[in-house]
Amino acid sequence: MNKTLTLLILLSIFTLAFSEDDSVTKIIIDIYIGSAIAICEQYKTCHMYMSIISLLILIPLTIIWIIDGCNLNLIFNKKNFLKAGSTGSGYYMTKMFINN
């Protein structure tokens, strides 16, 4: 738990240093989300709730995407790749920090 607190403090300081730029703030928020996912995976109950919520969101979004004609430009664009990259970075950074 001490490592988690240290990581959150470091991310908070990093956020305060770059809070003027909106795009950097969005990246920091995505890193926070990735960190929260990695921390949540450590606990069985949180992992279960995260899985259920993910399915409840994924199924209707997939149906809506199919009804709209399977437009790949809605999924594969620069904004989504940046969001996935920064969320994944936060996730793997936290996993490495927790496992060491």
What percentage of the chain exceeds 70 in pLDDT? 78
**92 contact partners, CB below 8 Å, separation of at least 6:** 34, 38
**What pLDDT does 11 receive?**
63
**What pLDDT does 70 receive?**
81
| pLDDT beyond 70 at 9 | no
| pLDDT beyond 90 at 55 | yes
Helix (H, G, I), strand (E, B) or coil at 69: coil
Q: What are the phi and psi torsion angles at 45 (to 5°)?
A: -65, -45
**What pLDDT does 56 receive?**
94
Mean pLDDT calculated for residue range 64-69: 85
Q: What domain count does the chain have? A: 1
> Which residue range forms the structural domain that includes residue 68?
2-99
**What pLDDT does 59 receive?**
93
Mean pLDDT calculated for residue range 46-70: 89
